[in-house]
Structure formats: structure tokens, C-alpha cells
Amino acid sequence: MKHLQQISVKPPVFFSGRAAGHFSAALLFAALTLGFSHAALAQAPAPVEQFKLANGLTVIVKPDHRAPTAAHMLWVRVGSMDEVDGTSGVAHVLEHMMFKGTPTVKAGDFSRRVAALGGQENAFTSRDSTGYYQQIPASKLEEVMRLESDRFANSQWSDDEFRREIKVVKEERRMRTEESPHAMLYEQAAAITFLASPYRRPIVGWMSDLDAMTPADVRSFYQRWYVPANAALVVAGDVEVAQVRKLAEKYYGAIAARPVPGRKPRSEPEQAGLRRIDFKAPASQAYVGMSFKVPKLEPVDLAQPGAAASPTVAASRDALALTVLAAVLDGYSGARLERALVQGQGQTGGRVADSAGASSGLMGRGPQLFTLDGVPADGKTTQQVADALRQQVAVIAREGVTQVELTRVKTQWVASETYKLDSVFSQARELGSNWVQGLPLDASARLIAQLRTISASEVQAVAAKYFGDDQMTLSTLLPQPMDPSRKPRPSSMPTNGELH
């Protein structure tokens, strides 16, 4: 179950192994739809501003003076999807190495200096991008801009430093992936779900590629992709646009401009038959997942909804309807999957699952999936769970959804996205994620507005259109006996799929 679903444009993320959003709706829009007070409107953050430096680096600033803090993020539009076979995991390894020093900052000093400023910092790698961030008192903004711009332009480390850190990354893979039956199943299912798309490779990389990786592989990736025109600086919090512009020009503007490498399209061929993987591993419970190829919302269709010239407008509309479908199935406590599969309401055989979920990829640089999954209840099989999950979609395809359900999920989206405005980090992360996808600054309000126009008939239509066997990958975890002498290793992996 994934109650109170929030719409996300970001794929799974790997965080660096050190101590440690989604988009948000515009506050004015939420006030109009939910009846917020005039006082709340008066506290609305200032409008977002975006500009480019002479070297091509994008700068996005969102002033919010409600607290004397700021979030400083540097986004690079490069992730695991930009790797090539044989060097999988290099984007994530580079993220680790970016903490290993510059000619003026020793290895490890970056984090120590940010902590001395009273701040927190970390970094993450996803399929689509890599990000570095600091949350600091607003008065310390210049110090972190000096540090981050230096690291972006002048990362430098020894081969010995690389050899030590690659061991850390391989241990991370062992702990987060190889010792988790669900993670291993997900990894192998992705490898057969996608053929041409680089989404088939794991973000952390295959172990054989990590074993063979060299310092030169990582340095080459850094030199190729870490260029100003392929990056965006996002600052949100108690700042002024003119102040950020001046500091950005001073520290980031001095970095030499270089061209962004060309990207060749790697379009996924149409799937024409069921794909299946059965994965055996020591586990206490079975699990089944079904992933269906679905369209995604294209940036042009969000920027110009309904544009007649767009060849993707119909598919983008379907992507929105699929997002609503996922929320109707599993978007709140007591949604359809929980009632039918977990509670057993209306089922002649009673409950069939201990948990059941639905999610739909809405946007991304690569192809997207709609996923149904569940864990069988005691005495039930994965086949029974899979059948029950598909039955719920079939019911909607046949009978549609109610207006009450539509109103509920849409209202929850507006409310949950509005509440995230309380966090300047969430604001900054959302703006950076939107930039990676090529979305406009007001993407949040545009997306909420479009989702609110999705009708019951559109939800019913996509339920009937995209859930056949030919578009499905079926993945099943077949539990094997547990080793009673084996002690589980501690893991800090959170439930949202992010690694810290």
C-alpha cells in the first residue's frame, strides 16, 4: 500500500553513503481550491526566477523569507541512463568521488566545512540526473557557493582514493541490492523489461562493471558531462534574486564554457509478448509484480496543453489518466486494492494479500511503467494475487470509477503538494527535478490543473487499453528456506527506494 500518493517526476535515486521532492502545487491555486485564508496567501513565497550565465549554466531562484535558511542545489543532467555498457554505475561512483577533494579542498573537507557552517549536505544519483545539495543558514550561502562551484569545476583525486572508494560502492551494492531479494528481483526485472533503453541497467551498476572500473573511466565521465550548460543551480529560501545572481556570476560564472555532448536516441522497441522472471532467494514471503509499458507526459504537452501540432498530445493525456487510475487503486487508506485484496471486501475467497499496490510513472527522460504488485496472504499464491490485481483494473475498465473517488484523489494531491511548500529543500528539489525534465517553472500548477481535468471516462479508457499480456513483464519472488544461522546486516535503505 502506498497511501497518500504524491505525483513524482523523479525515478529511483541512490544517495551517497554518508550521513545525511516531488513537485508542489502553487499556493495561490491551492488557496482557491481548498479555501485557504488571506493570511496564508500573504505568506506565499515570491515568484520563481530563472536566468542563464554566459557559460550556459542555468540559475533558478525561489525567495521564501519565512525562515532564515536556504537550500543550495546543483543539478547535472546526467545519470545512469547516460552510461554505456561496460561502465554501468560510473555516474554514481563519480558522485562519491566528488567528495574527494579539489586542488584547494582536501578529501573529506567539503563535508566538514559545511557542517562547521551549521549546514547539512548530501548527494544523489538517479537514472536521469545527479544532484548535490546543502541546507544552510541563509547567511552562509556564499560559502557553500564557493565550495560547490570549486568542486564542480575542479574535482581532483588520486588513484588510491578511487581504489578505496570503489570498495565502498561495491559494499553498498552488496548491502543494498545483493542481500535484498526484492532489490535483486527489481534489478533483474528491469533488465528484461527494457531492451534498448538504458533504464535496463541498475543505477549502482553491475558488480562486474564495478570490478573492472578504472579511475580513467570516472574522470572521463566527469570531463564529458560536468559542463556548465548541462547543469542548473537552484537556490530557495531567505535570499534575494539579485544577491544570488551576483554570487552565481562570481563563483559559477568563472567556469569555462564547454559544449554539452550530443545524445543519441535509444528508443525502446515495442513489446510484443509477455516477459517473465522467477527469482529464487531466501525470503519469508513471496512477492509478485506486474509492470506494463505505458506512455509518459511529454514536456511540450505540459507547457502547451492540447496543442494541436503535438503528435504526443493523446499519449500525454493517457499518462495523466493512468496517474489518476493508480491513485484510485492505491492512493489513500481504504482505496480499491486495500479494500478488495487486503481486507477481502467483496471477495468470495476472502483476503488474498498482506499488501497490494499500484503506481504509474508519469514523466522521465526514459520510458515509463505502470506497476501492480502484492505480497500473498498466508495460504494464498502469487498467481491469486496477480489475478486479483488485474481483476481490479478490469472492473474499472468495465464499470468505470465514481466521481467521489476522482474528487478525493484530486483534492488530496492539491493539499499534499501545497503542504510541501513548508520546506525550502522540497521547493528546490522540485524545481531542479523539473529542470532536468525540461519542464516550465510553473510545472507544478500546470500539472495539478491538468490532472483536475481528467474525467472518469478517460480513466476507464486507459484501464481497458494498457493492461494486456503483450505489454507486461511478470516478476515473481519464489521464497527459499532462510538460513537460521545467518544474521541480517543492518541497512539504512528507506522504504521509498532511495539509498542514503
Question: What residues are annotated to the active site?
Answer: 95
**Which residues, including other chains, have CB under 8 Å from residue 167's CB and lie 6 or more apart?**
none
Report the alpha-carbon distance of residue 368 to residue 128 in Å, rounded.
12
Counted residue by residue, the chain has a size of 500
**Greatest pairwise CA separation for the chain in angstroms:** 70
DSSP string, 284-305: SS-EEEEEEEE----HHHHHST
DSSP string, 309-373: T-TTHHHHHHHHHHHHHHHHHHSSTT-HHIIIIIS-TT-TT---EEEEEEEE----SS-EEEEEE
Q: Are 202 and 239 in contact (CB under 8 A)?
A: no
Given the C-alpha cell 544577491, which residue does it identify?
243
Between CA 412 and CA 422, with CA 416 as vertex, the angle to 5 degrees is 160
Among the listed residues 351, 341, 355, 338, the one whose alpha carbon sits nearest the alpha carbon of residue 286: 355
Q: 3: how many CB neighbours lie within 10 A of its CB?
A: 13
In the β-sheet with 231-237, what is the strand arrangement from edge to edge?
13-15, 120-126, 130-137, 69-76, 231-237, 58-63, 49-52
Q: Which three cell numbers stand for residue 229?
A: 550548460
Q: Are 131 and 151 in contact (CB under 8 A)?
A: no
DSSP code for 128: S
Q: 497: how many CB neighbours lie within 10 A of its CB?
A: 12
Q: 85: how many CB neighbours lie within 10 A of its CB?
A: 10
Among the listed residues 198, 257, 260, the one whose alpha carbon sits nearest the alpha carbon of residue 225: 260
